[in-house]
Structure 1
Amino acid sequence: MTKQELHRGRLIDHIGLVVRDLAASKAFYAAVFDVLKIPMGGSDAHNIWADELFVSTPGSEEVQGQLTGRHHIAFQAQNRAMVDAFHKAALTHGGTNNGAPGERPYHPGYYAAFVLDPDGNNIEAVFHGEAERSATSVRIAF
């Protein structure tokens, strides 16, 4: 039998979903995360989160910009230059600017760019600043 190996934690930085009713979504995700033994990371007036899934209201500061289908995916970048290159490549190949490269107020060193893909999804590349990682990815073998 061939062994399969996966690496997690290298591509997706976070995923954001925008919802109409945060209270209903909080009840839903709290229940399913409880069953799956995934702790809720917290909540505030406009957001709930667990691990790298963020569920937000349309009024959340984190999901501002042109109203889209409101699917949001953030890819990890290795440095600021990579964020800049992502933005340029996306615009050259059919994307629409939804936030030029620059620092964001989410935490010190958060450098990101946002584009709308051809279907209107909000796609981000983010570099969180210089940091030491315990591993480049999580290796899963089965």
Structure 2
Amino acid sequence: METQELHRGRLIDHLQLVVRDLAASKAFYTAILPPLGVPLGGEGKDYFWFDELFVSSADSDAAVGKLTGRHHLAFQARDRAAVEAFHKTALAHGGTDNGAPGERPYHPGYYAAFVLDPDGNNIEAVFHGEAKRSAPSVKVTF
């Protein structure tokens, strides 16, 4: 099936990963997300977050004492260079290669890289190719 149209926006409000080793996960995500333009949002003794990604230890009140299973998360990248920087940085900070940067067959221009984080989650950075956006991001103000 050929993709005719893609919609990007606030489809997901937030994701939570409950991890075995919070320090290892924090070191990993603190290294890989800034090359994609995503800064650390905040942290506490048993959690941290980046925008819509919330990561906590099993003893966090939000975790109910259970680890999450293996997930696939994909972060948008602004260009191919950001995908490559993400992959290189992830490997240098505890990630395991799960697909080097390159074109994928999902649709023309789909350029991505995949790594496994310290808990085995499949983390992707993807650049969908040159496109015109109506805005660089959605801004929600409460």
- Indicate if the aligned counterparts of 2:70 and 2:119 stay in contact, CA closer than 8 A: no
- 1:61-96 residue CA offsets vs partner (Å, 9 max, x unmatched): xxxxxxxx4301101101001101100000000000
- Indicate if the aligned counterparts of 2:104 and 2:110 stay in contact, CA closer than 8 A: yes
- Indicate if the aligned counterparts of 1:75 and 1:124 stay in contact, CA closer than 8 A: yes
> Hey, which bits of structure 1, 4+ residues long, moved more than 2 A?
none
- 1:23-63 residue CA offsets vs partner (Å, 9 max, x unmatched): xxxxxxxxxxxxxxxxxxxxxxxxxxxxxxxxxxxxxxxxx
1:9 deviates by 4.3
Q: Which residue does the alignment assign to 2:111?
A: 111
User: How far apart, in 2, do the equivalents of 1:91 and 1:82 lie?
Assistant: 14
Residue 140 of structure 1 aligns to a residue in which SS?
A: coil
Q: Which residue does the alignment assign to 2:44?
A: none
- Indicate if the aligned counterparts of 1:101 and 1:114 stay in contact, CA closer than 8 A: yes
Q: Which residue does the alignment assign to 1:19?
A: none
User: How far apart, in 2, do the equivalents of 1:85 and 1:94 lie?
Assistant: 15
AA aligned to 1:75 is F
1:139 deviates by 1.8
User: Could you tell me the TM-score, scaled by structure 1's length?
Assistant: 0.52
| Cα-Cα RMSD | 2.2
Q: Which residue does the alignment assign to 2:78?
A: 78
Q: Tell me the percent identity.
A: 82
User: How far apart, in 2, do the equivalents of 1:80 and 1:121 lie?
Assistant: 22
User: How far apart, in 1, do the equivalents of 2:77 and 2:100 lie?
Assistant: 15
Q: Which residue does the alignment assign to 1:137?
A: 137
Query: How do 1:1-142 residues align onto structure 2 when only pairs under 5 Å count?
Result: 9=9, 69-142=69-142
User: Could you tell me the TM-score, scaled by structure 2's length?
Assistant: 0.52
**Gapped runs of 5+ residues in structure 2?**
1-7, 16-68
1:137 deviates by 1.2
Residue 138 of structure 1 aligns to a residue in which SS?
A: coil
**Gapped runs of 5+ residues in structure 1?**
1-7, 16-68
User: How far apart, in 2, do the equivalents of 1:138 and 1:85 lie?
Assistant: 24
How many corresponding residue pairs? 79
- The structure whose residues are more often strand, as a share, is 1
AA aligned to 2:137 is S
